[in-house]
């Protein structure tokens, strides 16, 4: 199993291009099930998660062709015919977001059988809101032997979907299903993340009629069919924020390109409060820290435009070296402090009580062997290793490969001493 080794102490200087957003790309790929015509996605990230979903889509009948165009990696998807409306456990279990093929399959074929995705290390993340949304559109839902059976033999019907809590995945799922439903659909208490806008823009380019994406209420006028389209995937705001924090942790000056500062404004505000210099550029932002010690700050995770839960672990790593005590409150997932004990192995002083972590800054971190527990926790350990004395080895980095494209290459190009150890043997 691969590991990543980091020798800390090197400042970062250079440029890091940001890839397309994983969280958007996988939902855009699912949208290809809604039409028999080709959907061309540019600025596509090449990740374990997109490969997993590509395999599932191929099982359902989608032709998936990856290439490199003028604007970088792109993927052409075409589902001339749904050859199977069954998404088996062996594929769905590899990535929760693959459950979102359920809505498009029902919308196009009137039926689907999709495995429940199973548990998650960072919390329960139930799919009940997804199923309630489909029921509001007229689907009949049955659960049997770990599978969801959804049927709408006469097609989905527009309806009102009001979520009791904000859910990114359920909002996206409802959008994917409602665009082909007969009549009008209103989604209330919708997630407002930039990925909602990205999905709506792609669907509209395919002929859908979606308005209000990015606000708490989304209106959808159902159409009879969708056509093919070409769409550029939005920049990955979590990758943007991750490398911004990495630059602040290691010190130096890093320019992040092919992204937009407003995607991570809540993070930028806290970084500036901590003493990091962040400036906007025409195609991204520059993060600079001259070595002066950071100041402790408080954060509360919240749905967009609040502080992203997917950046909480990275920011905790940054606060381990800040002067004073930082307070980090996790309000989205109930079990998302598993990185705290691993940061403690590097010398961090962190105490966790329920959904609150108190981080008392230390003078220095010391390299050690650590274990990745989930995607964002994994990269927080890499970030900490950039500043730790000596060598830090992060185990189980398959988590990292799910969401970060060419991590070692991007950090190494800016001067980080980082390498991948393949299968227990050091990579030459």
Q: Enumerate the active-site residues.
A: 120
- Sheet containing strand 39-42, edge to edge, reads 63-69, 72-78, 39-42, 229-232
Residues 6+ apart with CB under 8 A from 51: none
Q: What's the residue count for the chain?
A: 428
* Known binding residues for phosphoenolpyruvate: 22-23
∠11-17-19 over CA atoms, to 5°? Answer: 125
Q: For residue 233, how many other CB atoms are within 10 A of its CB?
A: 26
111-115 vs 86-87, strand pairing mode: parallel
- Residue 247 CA to residue 254 CA, distance in Å, equals 6
How many alpha carbons lie under 13 Å from residue 282 in its C-beta half-sphere?
Answer: 0
- Residue 227 CA to residue 32 CA, distance in Å, equals 10
- Using CA atoms in the order 167, 27, 135, 56, what is the torsion angle rounded to 10 degrees? -130
* Known binding residues: 22-23, 96, 125-129, 310, 332
- Residue 298 CA to residue 351 CA, distance in Å, equals 14
Helices 168-178/22-31 angle, 10° precision: 20
- Residue 190 CA to residue 237 CA, distance in Å, equals 19
3-state helix, strand, coil in the chain (%, to 5): 35, 30, 35
Task: Specify the DSSP element, H or E, that contains 419.
Answer: strand 417-422
Reference 320, options 373, 378, 266, 385; nearest CA is 385
SS3 288: strand
Residues 6+ apart with CB under 8 A from 146: 89, 115, 116
- Residue 411 CA to residue 397 CA, distance in Å, equals 15
């Amino acid at each position: 199993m691969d590991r990543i080794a980091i020798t800390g102490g090197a400042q970062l200087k250079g440029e890091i291009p940001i890839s397309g957003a994983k969280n958007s790309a996988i939902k855009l790929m699912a949208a290809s099930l809604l039409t028999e015509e080709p959907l061309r996605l540019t600025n596509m990230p090449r990740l374990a998660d997109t490969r997993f979903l590509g395999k599932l889509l191929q099982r359902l009948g989608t032709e998936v062709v990856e290439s490199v165009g003028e604007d970088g990696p792109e993927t052409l998807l075409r589902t001339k015919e749904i050859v199977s409306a069954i998404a088996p456990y062996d594929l769905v279990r590899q990535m929760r977001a693959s459950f979102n093929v359920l809505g498009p399959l029902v919308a196009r074929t009137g039926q689907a059988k999709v495995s429940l995705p199973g548990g998650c290390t960072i919390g329960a993340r139930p799919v009940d809101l997804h199923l309630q949304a489909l029921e509001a559109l007229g689907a009949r839902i049955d659960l049997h032997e770990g599978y969801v059976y959804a049927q709408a033999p006469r097609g989905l019907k527009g309806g009102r979907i009001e979520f009791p809590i904000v859910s990114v995945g359920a909002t996206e799922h409802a959008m994917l299903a409602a665009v082909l439903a007969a009549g009008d659909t209103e989604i209330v208490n919708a997630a407002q993340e930039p990925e909602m806008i990205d999905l709506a823009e792609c669907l509209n380019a395919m002929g859908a009629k979606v308005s209000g994406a990015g606000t708490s209420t989304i209106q959808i006028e159902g159409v009879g069919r969708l056509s093919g389209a070409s769409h550029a995937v939005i920049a990955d705001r979590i990758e943007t924020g991750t490398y911004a924090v990495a630059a602040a942790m290691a010190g130096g000056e890093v320019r992040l390109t092919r992204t937009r500062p407003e995607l991570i404004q809540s993070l930028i505000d806290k970084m500036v409060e901590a003493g990091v210099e962040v400036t906007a550029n025409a195609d991204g932002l520059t993060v600079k820290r001259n070595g002066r010690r950071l100041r402790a700050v408080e954060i509360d995770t919240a749905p967009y435009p609040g502080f992203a839960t997917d950046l909480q672990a990275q920011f905790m790593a940054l606060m381990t070296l800040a002067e004073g005590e930082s307070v980090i409150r996790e309000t989205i997932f109930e079990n998302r402090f598993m990185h705290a004990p691993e940061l403690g192995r590097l010398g961090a002083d962190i105490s966790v009580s329920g959904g609150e972590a108190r981080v008392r800054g230390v003078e220095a971190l010391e390299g050690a062997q650590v274990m990745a527990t989930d995607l964002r926790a994994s990269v927080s350990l890499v970030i900490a290793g950039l500043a730790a004395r000596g060598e830090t080895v992060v185990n189980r980095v398959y988590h990292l490969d799910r969401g970060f494209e060419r991590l070692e290459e991007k950090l190494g190009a800016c001067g980080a001493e980082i390498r991948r150890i393949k299968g227990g043997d050091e990579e030459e």
